[in-house]
Amino acid sequence: MKILGVDPGIERLGWGLLEKTPQGIKYLSSGVKKTSKNEKESQRLLEIFKFLSNLIKKEGPDVLATEKLFFAKNVKTALVIGEVRGVILTVGALHSLAIREFTPLEAKLAVCGYGRATKESIANMVRLQLNLPKKRYLDDETDAMSLALAAAVIRVFP
């Protein structure tokens, strides 16, 4: 089963693709899709839509895992992230993917065993669990991989 984790952001959208097999969870690929501040928001959202749609067509994931927005200090940021989440969920539904949503606390618990883990702790646990090469990953990328990991380890009952 392939799982695509997506960390919503309009400036930087993190993504990580993992595969869950009987032998374990394997890292396939990851990255960050950046959009330009000079573009209109509608163009940036369309760019994200096209990017995710192409990624899904190319990689063929079975599950899309993303973050639930439950609180934001900045209302404007919350609204924009909500719009990006709408794009992510729409693309997932368009491609008939199973969609799993996690709060940051749920993802941190799944990856680190502690819901208040720091970004650094999450990145370290993601590196350890996926046996990632020693390179610098942006927070958005490791957050996306942690969402995919959460989808891989948390069982869902119908």
Q: Which residues pair with 12 in a beta bridge?
A: 34
Instruction: Tell me whether residue 143 is one of the annotated catalytic residues.
Output: no
Q: Residue 121 contacts by C-beta under 8 Å, 6 or more apart in sequence?
A: 112, 114
Quote the distance between the C-alpha of residue 51 and its chain's center: 14
Catalytic residue among 19, 47, 106, 140: 140
What's the N-to-C CA distance of the chain in angstroms? 18
Catalytic residue among 19, 47, 67, 101: 67
Task: From the candidates 7, 19, 47, 143, give the one annotated as an active-site residue.
Answer: 7
Q: How far is it, in rounded angstroms, from Cα 142 to Cα 7?
A: 9
d(CA 5, CA 39): 25
Structure tokens at 104: 């940051």
Phi, psi of 59 (to 5 degrees): -95, -25
Give the residue numbers annotated as catalytic, written as ranges.
Answer: 7, 67, 140
